[in-house]
Amino acid sequence: MSQFGMQMPASRAKRGASLDVFAVLAFLSLVFLAVACVVMYQAASKISPDGTPFTFQAEPGGNTEMKFQNAAK
């Protein structure tokens, strides 16, 4: 009878949909990728010449000094 969608009177109630292992792994990978993007953005901001994360090289004839945390001056 179950192929017609009928339920027996004493049967257990059906459980609702739940997340499977692959959905949880996909969500965790999304979280880790977002954290990695934030970390790389902050690291690029620290070493760039003008403080923006998208300019890694100094302009020609400009300031060529890179900002490193442990650099001795």
Under the banding of pLDDT at 50, 70 and 90, the label for residue 1 is low
0.75 surpassed by pTM: no
61 torsion bin: left (phi>0), alpha (psi -120 to 50), beta (else):
left
Higher pLDDT, 30 or 18: 30
* Per-residue confidence (pLDDT) for residue 10, from 0 to 100: 63
**Could you give phi then psi for residue 50, rounded to 5 degrees?**
-110, 10
Cβ density class 19-55: b for 16+ within 10 Å, e for less: eeeeeeeeeeeeeeeeeeeeeeeeeeeeebbeeeeee
Structure tokens at 33: 């990728």
Per-residue pLDDT of 28-69, as tens digits, reads 999 999 999 999 999 999 888 788 888 876 666 666 566 666
